Amino acid sequence: MMRVLLLGGTGDALQIARQFGPEHVYSLAGLGKVPEDLSCVVRVGGFGGSEGTARYIEDERIGLVIDATHPYAAQISANAAQASRAARVPCWALRRRGWQPQSGDDWRMVDDWAELTQILAAFRRPLFTLGREPLAHLDEIPPHQCWTVRCLDPHEGNARARILATRGPFTLEGERALFGTEAFDVVVSKNSGGSATEAKLEVARERGLPVVMLRRPELPAVDREFEHVADLLDALQALP
């Protein structure tokens, strides 16, 4: 089979990488844990934009690029699509379906941090589940608010911000307990999709809490798009 460059940093990508033999490459940005038990090559760090990515594809004789990065990692997805075109190799993408609001849900859609803070002004105890972005704004917390920020990065927080450095999956029971103890009045989320971090939405629904949802970024067109890991693996198996 042709040599595959898999762009990852997600649980789904790791699932794919686990099926790869030593001829293939799994690439990570270097922000999270680097798996040490894979049979394929694992490379860590940026390529240097789309030009660097195209150079890597050519130098390493890659025949197929698979973008299995997070739906909000828009820069690497754009680079992957552009570099694949430049290097004349196909680009596939795993694009997990977003969560859909259910009857009775109160989702407030926002495009960026400025819009998000405007909506949040009406609340006192937000739970942020957006990754590290809120950490850059801990000095801007309005006096009437106490934040809880759940993200991968440990951080000391401050008098009005508690940081929960933890990694999913999160269970329904665990989320119920956390929401009960902390009395959040709003949840802030990306629309990541998948089941690993979905329980917070169910608990928000149970408690009648609004969810401020950051809209998904536009992602580039690719040669083939898959919603499920299994379908992508089947398509790989079917390659000559």
Which residues here bind ligand NAP, judged by CB under 6 A? 7-10, 27-29, 31, 46-49, 52-53, 69-70, 72-76, 79, 131, 190
52 or 180: CB nearest ligand NAP? 52
Q: Are 3 and 63 in contact (CB under 8 A)?
A: yes
21 or 46: CB nearest ligand NAP? 46
User: Least distance in Å: CB of 220 to ligand NAP?
Assistant: 11
124 or 215: CB nearest ligand NAP? 215
User: Least distance in Å: CB of 209 to ligand NAP?
Assistant: 22
16 or 76: CB nearest ligand NAP? 76
76 or 116: CB nearest ligand NAP? 76
Q: What is the DSSP letter of 197?
A: T
CA-CA distance, 153 to 29, in Å (whole number)?
15
User: Least distance in Å: CB of 216 to ligand NAP?
Assistant: 10
56 or 183: CB nearest ligand NAP? 56
User: Least distance in Å: CB of 32 to ligand NAP?
Assistant: 7
CA-CA distance, 62 to 56, in Å (whole number)?
8
Q: Strand pairing of 91-94 and 161-165?
A: unpaired
User: Least distance in Å: CB of 94 to ligand NAP?
Assistant: 10
User: Least distance in Å: CB of 89 to ligand NAP?
Assistant: 16
* Buried residues in 104-128 as b, exposed as e (16+ CB within 10 A): ebebeebeeeeebbebbeebeebbb
Please give the residue whose beta carbon sits closest to ligand NAP in the complex: 46
CA-CA distance, 65 to 90, in Å (whole number)?
6
CA-CA distance, 102 to 233, in Å (whole number)?
31
Which position has the token pair 């951080």? 155
CA-CA distance, 17 to 132, in Å (whole number)?
25
